[in-house]
């Protein structure tokens, strides 16, 4: 589905990632860990076409990103749900409207997704905040809304950048269960996180592969690292 083949990425005159290869197969579950500044967010951006490698090949659903124009990348990204760390929302829309925005952009009728939207907001604990505007939300509420928005359109792949960074452990477990349930339905999941406790919790429930960026390269990692 998503493949990085001997990819390198340079930024500001220096190489951030080098000789990096990764395959996100259908239905697989991955964690990406490593210290801040090692390139986890950059790797995720390469996986959904927001960045193009300076060497090697990045393929989205079988097509090399270098051979895709802007429209083709945008179409491929409709099949990918992304949870960004910065959680950008449109302040003039309610939380529910922001969560449903991918459906609006894709031209789907939101009225036909009302039940799905309500269930999703309930799962992330935001039912009572459905009509709130983004400036009224806490950091944790914004993080939960970002996850709901990423999965509202039933993507084939979910890429999550620190999705539990601003929530307590109980909510972290709840969001993790949502991602595990999606994975069991066939969705490919890649989570970038510093939370080794979260990784251990996931590995007791799903066969997750743990990856770590070390010296600009990707390595398999144990959860005790």
Whether residue 84 lies inside any domain: the answer is no
Residue 160 sits in the same domain as residue 149? no
Asked if residues 120 and 99 have their Cβ atoms less than 8 Å apart, the reply is: yes
Per-residue pLDDT of the chain (225 residues; tens, 9 = 90+): 899 999 999 887 788 898 899 999 999 999 999 888 888 999 999 999 999 999 999 999 999 999 999 899 988 988 999 998 888 899 999 999 999 988 887 777 666 677 888 888 998 889 999 999 999 998 888 888 999 999 998 899 999 998 887 788 888 888 888 899 899 999 999 999 988 888 988 988 898 999 998 888 888 876 544
Residue 37 sits in the same domain as residue 100? no
Residue 215, classed as helix, strand or coil, is: coil
Asked if residues 168 and 91 have their Cβ atoms less than 8 Å apart, the reply is: no
Beta bridge partners of 29: 189
Sheet holding 217-220, edge to edge: 80-83, 157-161, 188-192, 29-33, 209-214, 217-220
Report d(CA 123, CA 177) in Å as an integer: 10
Residue 68 sits in the same domain as residue 7? yes
Residue 175 sits in the same domain as residue 69? yes
Structure tokens at 159: 């890429």
Q: How far is CA 185 from CA 20, 28, 150, in A?
A: 28, 11, 16
Residue 130 sits in the same domain as residue 190? no
Residue 160, classed as helix, strand or coil, is: strand
Which burial class, exposed, middle or buried, applies to 159 when counting CB atoms under 10 A from its CB (0-12, 13-18, 19+)? buried
Residue 66 sits in the same domain as residue 176? yes
Asked if residues 33 and 191 have their Cβ atoms less than 8 Å apart, the reply is: no
Token pair 């509420």: residue = 141
Which of these three, 101, 119, 154, is where a domain ends?
A: 154
Range of the domain at 23: 1-79+155-225
Which of these three, 129, 154, 179, is where a domain ends?
A: 154
CA–CA–CA angle 155, 145, 27 (5° rounding): 25
Residue 168, classed as helix, strand or coil, is: coil
Residue 6 backbone zone (phi > 0: left; psi -120 to 50: alpha; other: beta):
left
Asked if residues 130 and 137 have their Cβ atoms less than 8 Å apart, the reply is: no
Residue 129 sits in the same domain as residue 182? no
Total structural domains in the chain?
2
Residue 68 sits in the same domain as residue 168? yes
**How does strand 29-33 pair with strand 188-192?**
parallel
pLDDT for residue 224: 47
Which CATH number does the domain housing residue 58 bear?
Answer: 3.40.50.300
Residue 62 sits in the same domain as residue 136? no
Q: Considering the entire predicted model, what is its pTM?
A: 0.89
Residue 60 CB partners (closer than 8 Å, separation 6+): 1, 2, 48, 49, 68, 73, 76, 80
Residue 221 sits in the same domain as residue 176? yes
Residue 3 sits in the same domain as residue 111? no
Residue 36 sits in the same domain as residue 9? yes
Token pair 């905040």: residue = 129
């Amino acid at each position: 589905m998503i493949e990085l083949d001997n990819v390198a990425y340079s930024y500001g005159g220096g190489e951030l990632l080098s000789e990096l290869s990764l395959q996100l197969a259908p239905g697989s579950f991955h964690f990406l860990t490593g210290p801040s500044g090692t390139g986890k967010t950059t790797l995720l951006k390469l996986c959904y076409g927001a960045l193009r490698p300076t060497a090697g090949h990045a393929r989205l659903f079988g097509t090399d990103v270098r051979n895709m124009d802007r429209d083709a990348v945008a179409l491929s990204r409709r099949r990918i749900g992304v949870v960004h760390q910065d959680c950008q929302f449109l302040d003039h829309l309610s939380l529910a409207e922001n969560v449903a925005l991918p459906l609006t952009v894709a031209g789907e009728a939101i009225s036909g997704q009302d039940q799905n939207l309500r269930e999703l907001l309930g799962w992330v604990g935001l039912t009572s905040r459905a009509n709130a505007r983004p400036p009224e939300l806490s950091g944790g509420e914004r993080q939960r809304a970002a996850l709901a928005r990423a999965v509202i359109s039933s993507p084939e792949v979910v890429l999550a950048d620190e999705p539990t960074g601003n929530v307590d452990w109980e909510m972290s477990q709840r969001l993790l269960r949502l991602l595990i349930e999606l994975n069991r339905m066939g969705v490919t999941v890649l989570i970038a996180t510093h939370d080794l406790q979260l990784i251990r919790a996931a590995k007791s429930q799903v066969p997750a592969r743990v990856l770590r960026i070390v010296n600009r390269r990707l390595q398999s990692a144990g959860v005790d690292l």
